[in-house]
Amino acid sequence: MTTADELRDEVRRRYAESARAVSDGTAGCGCGSGSCCSDGANFGEVLYDTEQRGELPDAAVLASLGCGNPTAVADLHEGETVLDLGSGGGIDVILSARRVGPTGIAYGLDMTDEMLALATKNAKEADVSNVHFLKGVIEHIPLPASSVDVIISNCVINLSVDKPAVLTEMARVLRPGGRIGISDVVAEDHLSSSERAERGSYVGCIAGALSKGEYEAGLEAAGFEDVSVEFTHEVADGMHGAIVKAVKTSEPERAGLPVIQPATQAGCC
């Protein structure tokens, strides 16, 4: 059995390799490439329209490893503070920085040094100055309570080894009335943890996915209201790219989600 720390290290190694591949000009691999970078058809840059891709440096587009487009659903406004959990090569941070303008701030949080270096380079090339990339884990967000208006994330929460902690931390750092607009892989409720693991690897964003019901219950337990989880496109049998939305209206409590055991070997690539 792989421990949570080993699994997180495996995730970090996998995405460090993806960042290096983009920096070296070779193809990256990430979510959806569960069997060694083979099937990424429903992941990455194809989920952004031509206009958005035109706003971005090539390397930021190439580094896109998400399963949706959170900036399209988050309805960002001038002057807001946005936090992207697991910001990778910075694609959604750069797009958010442009939406919130010079009076707003876009934070990107990631645990992988190589991704942070790539994102910083991409933001410089995109000429956006209202961005800050933070090193850390999404289970312990390095920002004060009630300091963020909007949390976005693209295909990252499924990779967390402590999802209740992530949901609780999101509720802590959001201001009252703050909202989330997240893209993630989500399983249909009838799939057990082992059935999810049969459909793809943990580092490939499949095995660690929450089910729709688990997501909804976890967000509600963490103090969110107006929770919705909508499937957008199938990424594996019974597993979907999904848009997750909710609003913080009350104080966070620790979410009572079942612990998802690391039921699969992480490695590939």
Ligand X SMILES: C[S@@+](CC[C@H](N)C(=O)[O-])C[C@H]1O[C@@H](n2cnc3c(N)ncnc32)[C@H](O)[C@@H]1O
Residues that bind ligand X (CB under 6 A): 11, 15, 30-31, 64-66, 86-89, 91, 110-112, 115, 137-139, 154-156, 159-160, 205
Residue nearest to ligand X (CB): 88
Pick the closer one to ligand X by CB: 185 or 221. Answer: 185
CB 111, CB 83: distance < 8 Å: no
Pick the closer one to ligand X by CB: 8 or 212. Answer: 8
Q: How far is the CB of 34 from ligand X (least distance, A)?
A: 12
The SS3 assignment for 246 reads strand
Pick the closer one to ligand X by CB: 130 or 160. Answer: 160
Q: What DSSP element (H or E) covers 226?
A: strand 224-236
Q: How far is the CB of 59 from ligand X (least distance, A)?
A: 12
Could you tell me the two tokens for 49?
A: 């329209």
Residue 102 burial (10 A CB sphere; 0-12, 13-18, 19+): exposed
Instruction: Give CA angle at 194 (212, 209), nearest 5°.
Output: 35
Pick the closer one to ligand X by CB: 30 or 252. Answer: 30
Q: How far is the CB of 121 from ligand X (least distance, A)?
A: 14
Alpha-carbon separation of residue 26 from 29, 135, 253 (angstroms): 10, 25, 44
Q: How far is the CB of 82 from ligand X (least distance, A)?
A: 13
